[in-house]
Amino acid sequence: MEIVLKSGQLAAAIAAILRSAGTGEDEASLVALNLVQANLMGHDSHGVGMIPRYVDAIREGGLAVNAHAAIVLDGGVLLTVEGNRGFGQVVGREATAFAIERAKLHGACILGLSNAHHLGRIGAWAEQAAAAGLVSVHFVNVISRPIVAPWGGRDARHGTNPFCVGIPRGDREPVVLDFATSVIAQGKTRVAHNKGEKLKPGIVIDDKGDPSTDPRYAVIEPLGAILPFGEYKGSGLAFVCEVLGGALSGGETQHAKGDGRKRVVNGMLSILIDPVRLGTAENLSSELEAFTGWFKASPPADYVEKIRIAGEPERETMARRLAAGIPVDGTSWEEILAAGEKAGQARADTARIAGA
C-alpha cells in the first residue's frame, strides 16, 4: 500500500538512518535532502529508494562515509578530482564548487571527477553551476553491474550513463536537460517492479535477449538488460559518456560483469563556461528567451497539455508534491525500514520520524 509523506519529515527519517550507518550530521543532511529533492521532482528512481542500496554499500565497504573530494591536479582551467568513493551527493557538490571557482576565475573549467559513489540526479550539479551563472555540460559513466545493452546487442554491457546540460536564465529557473542514455533509468525499473507494474514494450529484454515488459529483468536475477534510447543514437552517446566520464576523468570504464556488490561508482566529465567571460551573456539571454518563446508556441498535440522546456516538468511536479506530499510505494517503504534496521535504527523510529 502506498504511503504519502511530507518532504521535511521524510528527509529527517533518511538522515537519521544515515547517521546510524556512520555518517556525520552534515553529510547525513546533504544526502537526505538531495534524495528527497529527487523525489520532489518526480525522479523517484534517484530518491529515497536508493537508501537500501547505500546502506548495503556502506556495510560492504564500497561506499566510504565522511569522505571528501580531493584535488589531484589543479591546472587552472583543467581540474582533476578524486571522489574517494564518498557519497556522490557530497563529493559531487564539492567538485562542482571547485569547478565553479575556476570557471569564475578563468572563464571556463574542465572538471574530471573520478571514483565518486552514486552521484544521484546529475541535474543537481547543473543547477549548482547555473545558480552561479554558468553553462555546464556533464558526461557520466556508471561502474556497477552492467544493465544496458548496446544497440543491437542481446545482453548488458554498460550502465545507464547519464548526460546533462544546464543553462542559466538570469532570474528565471534554468534550463536543465538531464537524462539516462537508456530508454529509462535503472531506478525506474526498480520502482515499477516494486509497484508490480509492467513496462511499455521496447524498454527491456529478458535474460535470453528477447523483448519483455517485465521490469524484473533489470532488477533481480536472472537479469536481462535495458535498451538504449533512440536506438544507435542513444547507444553512441552512452559509449561517449563511458569513455569521457570514465576514462578521461581518470577513473574506470565498464569491461566486466558485475560481482554482486552494491556499490555504484560514477565518473563525470564536466565542462563549465562563464557566458560573461565569453562575452556573449547578453546575447545568450536574449536569444534563449526568443527561442524559448518560439519553441513553446507550437500548438500542442493531443497527448500533451502544453509544450515544456527541459526542467519545467520537474518543477511542476515539485510544486504538487510539496503541497500534497511524496508518494512512496509499500515495497520501497518496507525496504527503507529494513535498511534502517540494518544500520541500527529501529523500524518504529524511522516510521515515527517520517510521520508514517
76-104 tens-digit pLDDT: 999 999 999 999 999 999 999 999 999 99
Please report whether residue 215 resides in a domain.
yes
Residue 258: per-residue pLDDT: 81
Is 138 among the domain residues?
yes
159 inside domain = yes
How many structural domains comprise the chain?
2
The CATH number given to whatever domain includes residue 49 is 3.30.1370.60
Identify the segments of the chain with pLDDT beneath 50: none
Q: What is the DSSP string of 128-159?
A: HHHHTT-EEEEEEEEESS--BPPTT-SS--B-
What CATH number should be reported for the domain holding residue 193?
3.30.60.50
Look at residue 161 and tell me if it is in a domain: yes
Specify whether 119 is located in the same domain as 211.
Answer: no
Q: Is 246 left (phi over 0), alpha (psi -120 to 50) or beta?
A: alpha
The DSSP annotation for 73-134 comes to: EEETTEEEEE-TTB-HHHHHHHHHHHHHHHHHHHSEEEEEEEEEE----THHHHHHHHHTT-
Residues 76 and 145 in one domain: yes
Residue 306 pLDDT: 97
Instruction: Confirm whether 18 is domain-assigned.
Output: yes
Residues 241 and 263 placed together within one structural domain of the fold: yes
Convert the pLDDT of each residue in 208-267 to its tens digit. 999 999 999 999 999 999 999 999 999 999 999 999 999 999 999 999 888 888 999 999
pLDDT given for residue 234 in this prediction: 97
Same domain, 216 and 338: no
Longest dimension (CA), the chain: 57
Residues 73 and 81: their CA atoms lie apart, in Å, by 7
pLDDT of residue 13: 98
pTM summary value: 0.95
Measure the CA–CA gap between 155 and 31, rounded to whole angstroms.
33
Same domain, 105 and 61: yes
Would you state the pLDDT for residue 259? Answer: 83
Among 194, 227, 260, identify where a domain stops: 227
Residue 221 and residue 86 in one domain: no
* Whether residues 174 and 192 fall in one domain: no
What is the overall mean pLDDT for the chain? 97
Within 13 A of 332's CA, how many CA atoms are on the CB side? 26
User: In terms of domains, do 87 and 103 share one?
Assistant: yes
87 grid coordinates:
557519497
**Cα 21 to Cα 131: distance, rounded to the nearest angstrom:** 32
Return phi, psi of residue 280, to 5°: -125, 15
Same domain, 271 and 250: yes
What residues make up the domain containing 263? 3-185+231-282+310-354
Flag whether 193 is in a domain: yes
Same domain, 123 and 238: yes
Residue 252 lies in a domain: yes
Domain co-membership, 190 together with 108? no
**Residue 305: inside a domain:** no
CB 162 within 8 A of CB 140: yes
Same domain, 322 and 190: no
